[in-house]
Amino acid sequence: VLDTTYPYETNAEDHGETSARAYEDIAPILSLLCKRLGKKRHELKIYDPYYCQ
């Protein structure tokens, strides 16, 4: 992960391009992972391979 700085304020949640529908499609798998890892859904972080810059 690169630590990039910008001359303006940025929001890490404002760079994803994957649609909400795509995340809905993998929700059952994420729920299973939570159970296996003993975590809550809000504790997961997903890497978005279509991150824009």
Domains of the chain: which residue ranges?
A: 12-43
Query: 16 CB contacts (<8 Å, ≥6 apart)?
Result: 48, 50, 51, 52
Mean pLDDT of the 7-12 span = 78
Torsion of CA 35, 38, 44, 46, to 10 degrees: -60
Mean pLDDT for the chain?
A: 81
Check residue 36 and give its pLDDT.
Answer: 96
pLDDT of 26 > 80? The answer is yes
Q: What is the pTM of this model?
A: 0.55
Identify the residue with better confidence: 28 or 52: 28
The Cα 33–Cα 27 span in angstroms is: 10
